[in-house]
């Protein structure tokens, strides 16, 4: 099975004509919308809807947001035995404002996510888990514990800034097979200012066994342990909302690796899941999109 270790947030989204400046108040252009989110929950839901046997290890607060997130995970077929509730702590929240033209600003209050412990993460890696997939929105001590207990570890280094200078970084990167990053995260990890200067092959210098760099509409580059980089193009689609594309990508990738696919084949599935995610609003991959992706089943 697949185990996703990571964050669960309530995304509180308001559309605005333009973003406020310091000290300024602007009225929303529409009512507040609450979406389930957090990279960990997004990836687990994507994998679950694609048919993966998947569990989620994370932490929510004892509030309505936490209850809704648990329900969304279960509805997607995700095992929530390792989802715990932190008493007296709010569920993680992302405050999102979307301006006309689509540009976002996001402030995250980690809440319960910040309370996930190394012990909880290690204990969630049961004997049937083949692949553990984690991101960097929960404490790195928990990510490290999951990485060390995992038969195979997929690391989505997002946000990449969380790894910079952290004492756990070497262990976490050393277990990553693959490391999954977008171009911005690659530039942060390689210490380059401009994404254009960094090459996917250079990621192996971080100690990772393999790497995958997502390139938006262009698809993704896979770098195997031999250091050879191969481009996997994404299908041409009309993008409506790119939120969560990377999460659908990584969820699908981890699912296929847990099913025993080779890395390039798993990335083939991942680019199609990412392309499906941008064709619809919201961060979660819908059941309809998954149905199309999987095709008619015999
Ligand atoms: P992130 O959302 O983390 O920044 P990317 O923008 O690189 O990541 O997108 C992740 C994946 O989603 C890509 O590798 C691709 O498969 C898919 N994707 C993203 N944008 C598009 C697009 N405009 N058309 C088709 N596929 C896309």
Burial 209-226 (b: 16+ CB within 10 A, else e): bbbbbbbeeebbbbbbee
pLDDT digits (tens, 9 = 90+) for 43-58: 999 999 999 999 999 9
pLDDT digits (tens, 9 = 90+) for 110-167: 999 999 999 999 999 999 999 999 999 999 999 999 999 999 999 999 999 999 888 9
**How far does the chain reach from its first CA to its final CA, in angstroms?**
22
Taking the C-alpha atoms of residue 253 and residue 251, their distance in angstroms, rounded to an integer, is 5
Other CB atoms within 10 Å distance of the CB of residue 84: 18
pLDDT digits (tens, 9 = 90+) for 160-190: 999 988 899 999 999 999 999 999 999 999 9
Would the annotation count 207 as a binding residue? Answer: no
Would the annotation count 216 as a binding residue? Answer: yes
In which residue are the tokens 């689609």 written?
237
Joined tokens for residue 180? 């999954």
Determine the distance separating the centroid of ligand 1 and the alpha carbon of 94, expressed in angstroms: 21
CA neighbor of 111 nearest in space, from 126, 128, 92: 92
Choice from 135, 239, 249 to test ligand 1 binding pocket (greatest atom count within 8 A of CB): 249
Closest Cα to atom 3 of ligand 1: 246
Q: Is 177 designated active site?
A: no
Choice from 234, 250, 289 to test ligand 1 binding pocket (greatest atom count within 8 A of CB): 234
**ipTM value of the model?**
0.98
**Ligand 1 atom nearest to CA at 243:** 2
The answer for residues whose C-beta is within 8 angstroms of residue 243's C-beta and 6 or more apart is 104, 281, 282, 283
What local confidence, expressed as pLDDT, does residue 197 receive? 76
Q: Check: CB of residue 91 under 8 Å from CB of residue 55.
A: no
**Ligand 1 atom nearest to CA at 184:** 4
Q: Which of 62, 75, 226, 247 is catalytic?
A: 247
Q: What is the dihedral of CA 23, 159, 216, 170, to 10 degrees?
A: 160
Determine the distance separating the centroid of ligand 1 and the alpha carbon of 63, expressed in angstroms: 33
pLDDT digits (tens, 9 = 90+) for 252-294: 999 999 999 999 999 999 999 999 998 887 667 777 888 788 8
Would the annotation count 167 as a binding residue? Answer: no
The H-assigned helical ranges of 2-56 are: 39-49
Taking the C-alpha atoms of residue 96 and residue 33, their distance in angstroms, rounded to an integer, is 10
Ligand 1 neighbours by CB, cut-off 6 Å: 182, 214-217, 219-220, 234, 237, 239, 242, 245-246, 249, 271, 274-275, 278
Closest Cα to atom 6 of ligand 1: 216
Local confidence band at 104 (pLDDT 50, 70, 90 cut-offs): confident
Domains and CATH numbers, the chain: 2-6+41-84+112-294 (3.40.1190.20)
Q: Check: CB of residue 119 under 8 Å from CB of residue 155.
A: no
pTM (predicted TM-score): 0.94
Determine the distance separating the centroid of ligand 1 and the alpha carbon of 153, expressed in angstroms: 22
DSSP string, 247-271: HHHHHHHHHHHHTT--HHHHHHHHH
Which of the 8 DSSP states describes residue 206? Answer: G
**Ligand 1 atom nearest to CA at 270:** 16
Determine the distance separating the centroid of ligand 1 and the alpha carbon of 167, expressed in angstroms: 30
């Amino acid at each position: 099975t697949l185990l996703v270790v990571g964050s669960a947030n309530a995304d509180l989204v308001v559309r605005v004509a333009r973003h406020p400046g310091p000290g300024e108040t602007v009225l929303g252009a529409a009512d507040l919308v609450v979406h389930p989110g957090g990279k960990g929950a997004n990836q687990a839901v994507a994998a679950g809807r694609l048919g993966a046997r998947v569990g989620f290890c994370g932490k929510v607060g004892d509030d309505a947001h936490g209850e809704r997130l648990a329900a969304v995970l279960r509805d997607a077929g995700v095992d929530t035995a390792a989802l715990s509730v932190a008493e007296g702590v709010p569920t993680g929240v992302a405050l999102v404002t979307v301006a006309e033209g689509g540009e976002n600003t996001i402030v995250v209050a980690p809440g319960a996510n910040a309370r996930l412990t190394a012990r909880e993460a290690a204990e969630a890696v049961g004997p049937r888990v083949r692949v553990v997939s984690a991101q960097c929105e929960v404490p790195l001590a928990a990510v490290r514990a999951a990485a060390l207990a995992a038969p195979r570890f997929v690391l989505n280094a997002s946000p990449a800034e969380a790894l910079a200078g952290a004492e756990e970084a070497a262990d976490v990167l050393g277990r990553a097979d693959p490391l999954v990053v977008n171009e911005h995260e690659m530039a942060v990890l390689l210490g380059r200012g401009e994404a254009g200067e960094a090459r996917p092959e250079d990621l192996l210098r971080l100690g990772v066994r393999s790497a995958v760099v997502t390139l938006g509409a262009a698809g993704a580059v896979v770098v195997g342990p031999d250091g050879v980089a191969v481009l996997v193009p994404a299908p041409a689609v009309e993008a409506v909302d790119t939120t969560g594309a990377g999460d659908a990508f990584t969820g699908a990738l981890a699912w296929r690796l847990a099913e025993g696919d080779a890395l390039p084949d798993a990335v083939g599935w991942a680019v199609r899941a990412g392309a499906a995610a941008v064709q619809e609003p919201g961060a979660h991959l819908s059941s309809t999109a998954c149905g199309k992706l999987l095709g008619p089943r015999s």
